[in-house]
Structure 1
Amino acid sequence: MLREGDLIGQWQSPSLLISQTCGYLATHELRSHVTPVAVPHCAAPGCDGPNYASAILVPADHPGLDLADFRGSRAAYSRAYSHAGYNAFRSIVAPLADGQAFFASVLASDSHVASIAAIASGRADIATVDCVVHAFVARWQPAMLTGTRILGYTPTAPAPPYVAPINADAVTIRRLQTALTAAMADDTLAECRDALFLAGFSAPIAGQYDVILDRAATAIASGYPVLR
């Protein structure tokens, strides 16, 4: 069932069966509430098997050729608990910032789509956007990308996991994984999988999402705890 409203509360609910959340939330705020049960493999630019990246989006007419050229520009991010929209962004800026403010201003847009709109409308000069979200927009709302271009991609990280409550038993997790495997093999769902850029799933590996923790810790240790 598609639900709206307080997503954090829904992910923390003991009645949750299965959902998908950001890898940053799964390793931080929700780490004592959910457990990964499957890692999606997406067929979108910037994805590689169970891993995905953020598209570094900039104005089409900006002359910058790499990230260093955007020092002193205006940044936008989706939410501070987003890996693709914030943590990945912070991790690539930190080595250039030397513990100082790198941008002239930073805008909290509230979503990846809103970050795209901020670049397209001229309210921001650079943002990192989940590459799968960017692919959705390119397919279904391509006009939204007018006036933008991809500067490059951030290093990859494990894709946002499908999660169950932290206390889900092994039988429940196996049943969920079996259901997902069946959905990937069901010919009648091929159109749905294509619409979602879904190419497959894999079971999570212990420590698989530690790279997200490591990138956050490295940025903080370098004196760049917040995007600025």
Structure 2
Amino acid sequence: MAMPSDKQRLRLVTHMCPSLPVELYELLMSYLEDEAGCEATLQYESRAPGPLPGRPDPFTTDAIDLAFMTPTAFVNLVDGGNSDAELLPVTPVFCHAKNPREEKGYYADIIIHKDRSKHVKEFADLRGCRWAYSHEESLSGSLVVLKKLREMGENAAFFGDTVRSGSHLRSLQLVLGKKAEAAAVDANCLAYYRSYLQDWGRDIKVLESIGPLPPYPIVVNKRLSDALKARLVEALLNFSETKFWGGRGEVYGLRKFVPNSAGTYEGVREYKRDVEQPGIGLRYY
């Protein structure tokens, strides 16, 4: 009979899939088991970028210990008065051509099919196109675009048609299959899946990149002991220093982890405030 383990249990959930590969979070789960001395499990939840609406909050019900979610989902959690979740003060940094100094934050890539290149030289040329977006509150898929349109004196009616894809990966597939003419996708999604596309995704052209955007938050249950939270932070900050684990992270474009703070996400609130101005409405999406 197996003896019960005295290691602390760590229940993880990722809301970042399928836009980012689940294998990345399986890697982090295994790493934290080794480096933080835990027995971890990982739940895959792709239906929402954070805790599912209309369901009991998993932090309040003590159903999870640590969640990977989007910046907008974290802001909604905090602004909704959740008192059982807090930011783990560390965030991942991924490779991007516009981030040679490897600072925190990520980018939104505005993409088109290469066959549109003759007629589309800049964002303004996308007027009247069929636009794909992951979901209404996606920072990199919707909010940055609505802000850009507002700065141009436009709103979402600038596009001829829009299609809600459900994920950045699906938006990429729609553009590649010419079922949408353009989209804004998480640059880390594009970078990873491009290696699986024919000719390294040469049919996809990045029109421009917007960022850096507030980084991906890692959110923990406040019931976790301070000692365990400290071990988690230390382990993640040392991720790139461990040759075995750090090298495996580079497959996903993951370079390292750096310190993070709740104040970073005021930038998300600024985006949300900007798109709530008259003339810009998420109802178009």
Fold equivalence (TM over 0.5)? yes
Q: Which secondary structure state, in structure 2, belongs to the residue aligned with residue 12 of structure 1? A: coil
Within 5 Å, give how 1:143-162 maps onto structure 2. Answer: 145-162=201-218
Correspondent of 2:87 among 22, 29, 36: 36
User: How big is the shift at 1:168?
Assistant: 4.6
Return the letter of the residue paired with 2:63: S
Residue 219 (1) aligns with residue 275 (2): yes
The one-letter code of the counterpart of 1:16 is I
The CA distance in 1 between the partners of 2:200 and 2:278, in whole Å, is 36
Query: Contact 1:79–1:85 (CA<8 Å) still a contact in 2?
Result: yes
Superposed CA offset, 1:63-107 (max 9, x none):
211111111111100122321122222222222353461111110
- Percentage of identical aligned residues: 18
Mapping of residues 25-104 of structure 1, within 5 Å: 25-29=73-77, 32=82, 34-37=85-88, 38-47=90-99, 48-62=102-116, 63-99=119-155, 101-104=157-160
Whether the 8 Å contact between 2:113 and 2:175 is mirrored in structure 1 is: yes
Match of 1:123 among 164, 167, 179: 179
Distance 1:75 1:214 in 2: 24
Structure index of larger Rg? 2
Q: Is the 8 A contact 1:99 1:223 kept in 2?
A: yes
Residue number among 187, 191, 199 corresponding to 1:135 in the alignment: 191
1:2 is the counterpart of 2:54: no
The structure 1 segments of at least 4 consecutive aligned residues displaced by more than 6 Å after TM superposition are: none
**Aligned match of 1:208:** 264
Gaps of 5+ in 1: none
Higher RCO, Cα 8 Å, sep 6+: 1
Q: Does 2:74 align with 1:23?
A: no
Conservation of the 8 A alpha-carbon contact between 2:133 and 2:171? yes
CA-atom RMSD in angstroms:
2.5
Kindly provide the amino acid, as one letter, of the partner of residue 42 in structure 2: L
Q: Using the TM superposition, name which of 200-209 and 125-134 deviates more.
A: 200-209
Residue 116 of structure 1 contacts residue 145 of structure 1 at CA under 8 Å; is this kept in 2?
no
Shift of 1:29: 4.3
Which amino acid counterpart does residue 174 of structure 1 have in structure 2?
A
Q: Distance in 2 between matches of 1:216 and 1:138?
A: 30
Secondary structure, aligned partner of 1:50: coil
Question: 2:36 — aligned with what?
Answer: none
2:246, 2:256 within 8 Å by CA — same for their partners in 1?
A: no
The 3-state SS of whatever aligns with 1:53 is strand
Q: Which runs of 5+ in 2 are unaligned?
A: 1-40
How much has 1:162 moved relative to structure 2? 1.7
Distance 1:125 1:163, change over 3 A: same
Which range is displaced more, 60-69 or 93-102?
93-102
